[in-house]
Structure 1
Amino acid sequence: MSRDYDIAVVGGGLAGATFACALADTGLSIALVEAVAFDAPADENMKARTTAIAAGTRAMFEELDLWADMAHDAAPIKRLHVSQQGRFGSVRVNAADYDLSALGYVLHNVTMIEVLRARLAQMPQVDVIAPARFESLTRDAAGERIELTCASKDGASEILRTRLLVGADGANSSVRSALGIGAHIDDYHQRAIVTFVEPERAHGGCAYERFTPDGPVALLPCTRASCAAVWTLPSERAERMCAVDEDEFMDELQAAFGQRLGALKLAGPRGSYPLARVLCDRAAVDRAVLIGNAGHALHPAAAQGFNLAIRDALLLAAMLRERLAADSAFDPGDADLLSGWAEARRPDQHRVANFTDTIVRLFSNRIPMLDHARGAGLFGLSLLPSIRDDMARRSMGLALAPARIREASS
């Protein structure tokens, strides 16, 4: 059996689901292919995952009328404190200095995906095909459609014919491979451990990122009494720390983070995931694009990956909406539109990827005396408001957001 669509999205996670939601009321028929059943309960690893939402990303969700359903779970980041373990120098950023109520927000991934999937259920033009695994693709003789073969849980195959294919299936993207798009992959040989902790002292809405020679450890406000923890370690040590008992785990985490918030108590499950930088050679080819981690996966240092993915998804959706408003018969797989989108997104993608990679390599390095230079750099940055402010606005997703989004965030 085969079905025809205007757009097929492979990957029903945060980036793919947001893109589909952004096309509500366009009249475009959309297939959303996801390997995991939408009603499957979250596993322990997913329950431990949170995401830092930049102020600019929140404004984008507001435009999609999604934020109101997420806000109850959103912990505001009012201040940011960046430091280096055992050395002087730090950078502090306060939301009030930018006339914002918050620099960003921390949300549980489970909350975001539930809100997105609830919206998708209200969109009759979206067919959710899950659980189903993308297997292969071919192009028709006329070059007007891509044909996808997907396998359901029981092994049955289905053919989807689409004018535009959107790969949103993560860093190990099967769509990217099937399209013949290469990628430069830098394996950091690290894993990020994610969990929740209750600090002895109130966090006061402050997000802390502390760099150690093994990688950064971040504590982010989650509830009034708890923080989301993201602890980066070399892979072997991270696997061991996920397996040790609670006391040993907390002793090691406390040693890495320090005593700024007093004693820390474990308050949730532990999960982990591997870290690598992935940059695809091309984000757009004939009738196909890659968004989110399928095109660029980043280290979690500076918490930029998700916000970058959302900018990918929403710019593509906005460009499609604009062209459809001018011509209802417009082909969503139009080559000029896709290449224009890729060109528009490339500077942001490469700037953020290189910025994050530089931070990781600079601060996760045991070269003698380099830690003193890093501390001096942090101290100097704190004394140069213009540079610090530009960095802060870019991190908040405001410098690159459309004017209407910057205004909504003020």
Structure 2
Amino acid sequence: MSGSRQREYDIAVVGGGLAGASLACALADSGLSIALIEAVPFDAPADANMAARTTAIAWGTRALFERLDLWSAMARDAAPIKRLHVSQKASFGTVRVAADEYDLPALGYVLPNLAMIAALRARLAELEKVDVIAPARFQALRYPEGGEQVEITLTHAETEAPQTLSARLLIGADGAKSSVREALGIGARVDDYHQRALITIVRPERPHDGCAFERFTPDGPVAVLPRSRDSCAVVWTLPTEAAERMCAIDDDAFTAALQEAFGQRLGQLTLDGPRGSYPLARVLCDRAVSTRAALIGNAGHSLHPAAAQGFNLAIRDALVLAAMLRERLDADPDLDPGNADLLAAWAEARAPDQHRVANFTDAIVRVFSNRLPGLGGARAAGLVGLSLLPAIRHDMARRSMGMAVAPGIDSGVSS
């Protein structure tokens, strides 16, 4: 286990992915000692699935990364989204949004997951107050007598050797199938969409000019997003059986099917990267906090990728918590980071944003990804109506860009 120097910490973060690593970085100079626990070796080579993964980050998320001095390390790999084009296959009605309507250089950015992970891990390597414990798997927790700490049992992922450490605050950032959530006895509602997201990279015949396309089909949305100057990231949602067939066919047949679903707005598409896929479900935890513990990111709420809101929501979870901890530490340097009132205040502050985004993405999936008779015309009319009602469209755009953030953080832009 790399970097492990002690057994007692102020905060233990289980899950060294994007949300957990961002939280550790945000608290790095708070004076708190942090253990960041990750099941996969930090130097493990990326598989084809991870190599194909990209994330659309909102403008507000970029501003938050800038405040952490992380954006400069990510910016060289970031493709700006200057325009958004939303349409429905074989129907009229489109919605268009442009960054210059908001006096911004971009609505958001598309980043390879590997680029974000590399930037976060490079920063973590510089931090004296953060111990990275990897590869290690969370096994169990218990509360010793006195209740001033939570004791965590880990096993080395390669040797199965056990290790115990304690912390005053435990953060579960270990994904939709969170072991921390299960150990805390926190239930979760799981809505299986019976879909998979196919991910890949294509090279379009025509320049994308920084435009992100969201194309709704009866089987699910097709997102084609700028990835570099001459390539695009694709996130194509299909029913599980159809997605499995698409994963099995050859490249030419796959590209032809993708072209038929997306259309010709970018001309001929050429496959330019590996294909991967992952299952889609909405997972909503019953509560976000427990005794000396909190859940962030997918451990608390895993969402459908429609509208690309899940990661941005996860970052807001992490950075609101960091901001609230910092604010209270400034007032009381002896603050217990596992303080129940603090955790309750954080959960209350985050609940409206979490509920709004979870319901919004779920509604998009259920309205736009089905073949019920008569819905096609209603969906098209809805897109036309949205395009003709600037106030509603602008409010949705501001929220999607992360310009209406929760109390405790400032996105750096006016809402």
- Fold equivalence (TM over 0.5): yes
The AA in structure 2 aligned to 1:367 is L
Q: Is the 8 A contact 2:350 2:406 kept in 1?
A: no
- 1:344 corresponding residue in structure 2: 349
1:188 aligned counterpart, secondary structure: strand
The total of aligned residue pairs comes to 410
One-letter identity of the residue aligned with 1:25: D
For residue 73 of structure 1, give the secondary structure of its aligned residue in structure 2: coil
2:129 pairs, out of 125, 132, 139, with 125
Pick aligned residue for 1:326 from 324, 331, 339? 331
1:367 CA displacement:
1.0
**Which residue matches 2:160?**
155
2:132 corresponds to 1:104: no
Shift of 1:257: 0.3
Conserved 8 A contact 1:48-1:271? yes
1:256 to 243, 261, 269: 261
Return closer, same or farther for 1:406/1:173 CA change in 2, 3 Å cut-off.
closer
Correspondence 1:213 to 2:229 = no
Q: Report the Cα offset of residue 27 of structure 1.
A: 1.3
TM-score w.r.t. the length of structure 1 is 0.98
The TM-score normalised by the length of structure 2 is 0.97
Deviation at 1:243, TM superposition (A): 1.7
Partner Cα distance (1:163, 1:407) in 2: 31
Determine if contact 2:320/2:409 at 8 Å carries over to the other structure: no
> Which one-letter code corresponds to 2:65 in the other structure?
F
Give 1:371's aligned residue: 376
Matched, 1:48 2:52: yes
1:63 aligns with 2:67: yes
Aligned partner of residue 192 in structure 1, secondary structure: strand
Is the contact made by 2:138 and 2:152 (CA closer than 8 Å) also made in structure 1?
Answer: yes
Q: Which residue of 2 aligns with 1:196?
A: 201
Contact 1:192 1:275 in 2 (8 A): yes
Q: 1:183 is aligned with what amino acid?
A: A
Name the CA distance, whole Å, in 1 between partners of 2:300 and 2:132.
Answer: 22
* Structure 1 unaligned regions, length at least 5: none
Q: Secondary structure at the match of 2:39?
A: coil
- The alpha carbon displacement at 1:3 in A equals 0.7
Partner of 1:37: 41
Which whole-Å CA distance do the structure 1 matches of 2:110 and 2:324 have between them? 28
Contact 1:55–1:409 (CA under 8 A) maintained in structure 2 = no
Partner in structure 2 of residue 225 of structure 1: 230
Give the structure 2 partner of residue 26 of structure 1.
30
Task: Confirm or deny: 8 A CA contact 1:51 1:306 kept in the other structure.
Answer: yes
Shift of residue 344 of structure 1?
0.4
Is contact 1:2-1:161 (8 Å) kept? no
Q: Distance in 2 between matches of 1:234 and 1:5?
A: 44
What does the per-residue CA deviation read over 1:50-69, in whole Å, with 9 as the maximum and x for residues that have no partner? 00010000000000000001
Amino acid in the other structure paired with 1:210: R
SS of equivalent to 1:222: strand
CA contact (8 A) 2:320 2:408 kept: no
CA distance in 2, matches of 1:314, 1:404: 7
Q: CA deviation at 1:405?
A: 3.7
Q: C-alpha distance in 2, partners of 1:327/1:77? A: 42
Distance in 2 of aligned mates of 1:368 and 1:210: 19
Give how far 1:252 is off. Answer: 0.5
Which residue identity is paired with 1:117?
A: R
Q: Which residue of 2 aligns with 1:11?
A: 15
Structure 2: gaps (5+ residues)? none
- Alpha-carbon distance in structure 1 between the residues aligned to 2:206 and 2:257: 19
What is the aligned-residue RMSD (CA, Å)?
A: 1.3
Please tell me the residue identity of whatever aligns with 1:44: A
Q: Residues 409 and 192 of structure 1: is their aligned pair in 2 closer, same or farther, counting only changes over 3 Å?
A: farther
CA separation in 1, counterparts of 2:414 and 2:338?
A: 32
Q: Percent identity?
A: 72
